Amino acid sequence: MRRSLDAESTATLVRAFITFRIDYCNYVLAGAPKALTDKLQRVLNAAARITSDTGKYDLAFRQLLHEKLHWLDIGGRVTFKLLVVVY
C-alpha cells in the first residue's frame, strides 16, 4: 500500500492512525516500565520508516526521526505531554 501513496498522504495516515494512538494515553505511560516503552518505541520507529521510506538499519534514522519528522522518543513524548498539561 505504501507504494501507491505519495509521501504526504502516507505521513497523514501515519499521524492519524499511529501517533494519535501513541499519544492518546500518555498519562498512563508516566512511570511505565522500560519494557513497555521500548515496544512503543519500536512501533514509532516503524511508523517513521514507513513515512520516510527508509530501511531498518539506515545510519541517519535517528536524525530523520528528530530533525525531519520532528518526533520525540516515547519517553520524551510522555514528558512533553505531561508538562504541557501542567503548564
- Per residue in 29-46, pLDDT (tens digit) is 888 888 988 998 898 888
| pTM score over 0.85 | no
Query: At 72, which helix (H) or strand (E)?
Result: none
Number of neighbouring beta carbons within 10 Å of residue 65 = 21
- Per residue in 53-86, pLDDT (tens digit) is 777 777 777 777 777 778 888 888 888 888 888 8
Give the C-alpha separation, 85 to 39, whole Å. Answer: 25
Residue-range definition of the domain harbouring residue 55:
2-86
Give the C-alpha separation, 16 to 32, whole Å. Answer: 24
pLDDT score of 25 more than 80? no
